[in-house]
Structures are given as C-alpha cells and as structure tokens.
Amino acid sequence: MCLEKTILITGASSGIGKSVTKQLAEQGHKVIMLCRNKEKSEKVIKEIDSKNAELLLCDLADFDDVKRAAKEFKNKYSKLDVLVNNAGSVFADRKTNKQGYELTFSVNHLGHFLLTNELLDIITERVINVSSYAHKFGKINFEDINLENSYNSLKAYSQSKLVNILFTYELARRNKKITVNCLDPGFVKTNVGENDKNSYISYIMKIIRLFSKSPEKGAETIVYLATSKDVENITGKYFCNKKIKKSSKKSYDLKVAKKLWDLSEEMIKNYKP
Ligand SMILES: NC(=O)c1ccc[n+]([C@@H]2O[C@H](COP(=O)([O-])OP(=O)(O)OC[C@H]3O[C@@H](n4cnc5c(N)ncnc54)[C@H](OP(=O)(O)O)[C@@H]3O)[C@@H](O)[C@H]2O)c1
C-alpha cells in the first residue's frame, strides 16, 4: 500500500518536473506544482488528468513572490512531506532579476534557498535538489557571484549546479530532522537551454539531446528519492541512477559551503522589494 505524501515540486510545467509530477500523482501522492506560467501549467494539469496534481503559481526569480507562495502553501497545508527543488534555467546572455542578481543564480539557487527556508518548519521528511553533471565544471566566483565581469552561460549554469550540491550538504549538516539529498538526472530530452534559441548553449543542448533519455527515465531518480523507503534515512548524498555517487572535490569544501550559505542569506535579506 502506498502511504500518500504531500510533495511540492518546482518547475513542473515541462521536462523532468512534469514527468515526476505525473508519476507521483499516479502513485497516489498529492503533488503541488510550483510553476510561473499559468496557462502552460494548467495545460499540463489537464494532460496529467489527476485530481492529485494542483498548481501553485510562483516565479522563483522574484523573492517577494517566493515568500507569498510559501505563505499561500502554509495557509492551505499544515505539513509538507517532500520538497523537490527542480526548476532550472540557463541564459545565453547575462540577465538579472528584479533585485539585480544574475538570473541563473537567482532561479537555480536563491529562489530555492529562500523557498526551502520559508517552508523548513513544516517539512517532515525530505528535501531533494536537482543538480547536474555540469557541476563538475563549476567554480564559486565569490569575488563576482553575479558574474558581472566575466559572464558566459556555461560558467553561470555550472556554478549554479555546484551551488545546488554545496547547499544540499550544508542543509543536511544543519538539519537532522529531515533528509536532504541531491542528484544528477543524466542527459534528458527537455527544453533546458532553449530559452535563447541559436545561442551557444542551445547548440550544445541540441547535440546532447541526440544522446539523451526521455523525461520519464530522467524522472526516475527523483521519484525514487521522494518515495523509496531505501533512502528514508540517507542524507547529504549525491545520486545518479538511484545510486550514491561522489560529487566533485569542490562540492565537499566545508568552508565554501558555509560562506555560500551566509552569502545567500545576506542576498535574500538585503534585497530591495
Ligand atoms: N535536461 C537535462 O539534460 C538535465 C541534465 C542535468 C540536470 N538537469 C536539471 O533538471 C532540472 C529540470 O530541467 P529540465 O531539463 O526538465 O528543463 P525544462 O524542461 O526547461 O524545465 C525547467 C523548468 O523550470 C521552470 N522554471 C524556469 N525558470 C523558472 C522561474 N523563474 N520560476 C519558476 N519556474 C521556473 C520552467 O518553467 P517554464 O515552463 O515556465 O519555463 C520549467 O518548468 C533543472 O534543474 C536542470 O538544471 C537537466
């Protein structure tokens, strides 16, 4: 028998997140899809055709909106069993959010960092952060975290995916009441990199897509981490294909993780609404 969980997943309007939502809803879990595009997400809900999936509108790049969405969630639900931080973006040219922070860092990390911290007191079981193999090329540019002086899309994306892992390990060290893990879904045929057509990153993604798996396959490790009893006591790990793997050497740096946490807190606190 499947014990129904309440699961919130970001970026459920397409790709991996959409497949995860479908699989979890079919298993009987209540899935709250945190998405920014109403029309697109409502189409997905229709397609999934399950009373278990519902929409929570939110733009992760807008910190006021993240706070509002967390509050709206808490008004409706007294607990959240599993949070899946899945949404991700990459941009050919440097863009910023309302607060002037670089957009990849804002969406892929800061929005999720804020969302997680706003919901932490009602999370009962698991936090799952979707990273990528690309983290291995990442470097945390503390001297220029917003990449004002040296932007390129791969640098921004790989930095954000390394940050996802450092955040996972740090949260796992700070909070022993829940489990916190991250994963690389592998190469998956999705829209990632398609924001800016004809860009360098979109050409790379076109080639990668030739060797990629389906979103259904790409969803498997997330569904496993969200529901399996095998991992209910495992925390602070990086998974690929449902197996624990070693992440890059840089991702285990305790000093960097602490510094990143403090910086993220400061960036979230000091933003001007
Ligand atoms: N595909 C791969 O090969 C691959 C490999 C490694 C890791 N990943 C990771 O897997 C995760 C899912 O990506 P995907 O491949 O499924 O790509 P995708 O199809 O492009 O999905 C990305 C999702 O993130 C959402 N999103 C983007 N910006 C947002 C914002 N500001 N606020 C709220 N939601 C936002 C998108 O919403 P919209 O529909 O509104 O754009 C979409 O639902 C990402 O974290 C990515 O880094 C993917």
Cα dist from 144 to 9, 111, 141, 159, whole Å: 30, 19, 5, 12
Q: For ligand 1, is residue 86 a contact (CB within 6 Å)? A: yes
CA-nearest residue, atom 47 of ligand 1? 88
CA 159 – CA 179 distance, rounded (Å):
24
Please tell me the distance from the alpha carbon of residue 234 to that of residue 66, in angstroms, as a whole number: 28
Domains delineated in the chain: 6-269 (3.40.50.720)
Question: Active site includes 169?
Answer: no
- Tens-digit pLDDT string for the chain (273 aa): 457 999 999 999 999 999 999 999 999 999 999 999 999 999 999 999 889 999 999 999 999 999 999 999 999 999 999 999 999 999 989 999 999 999 999 999 999 999 999 999 999 999 999 999 999 999 999 999 999 999 999 999 999 999 999 999 999 999 999 999 999 999 999 887 777 666 667 777 788 888 899 999 999 999 999 999 999 999 999 999 999 999 999 999 999 999 999 999 999 986 655
pLDDT tens digits, 123-136? 999 999 999 999 99
Ligand 1 midpoint to CA 10 (Å): 9
User: Please, are residues 54 and 45 in contact by the beta-carbon 8 Å criterion?
Assistant: yes
pLDDT attached to residue 1: 46
* Choice among 77, 151, 157, 224 that is catalytic: 157
Does 88 contact ligand 1 (Cβ within 6 A)?
yes
pLDDT of the residue at 205: 78
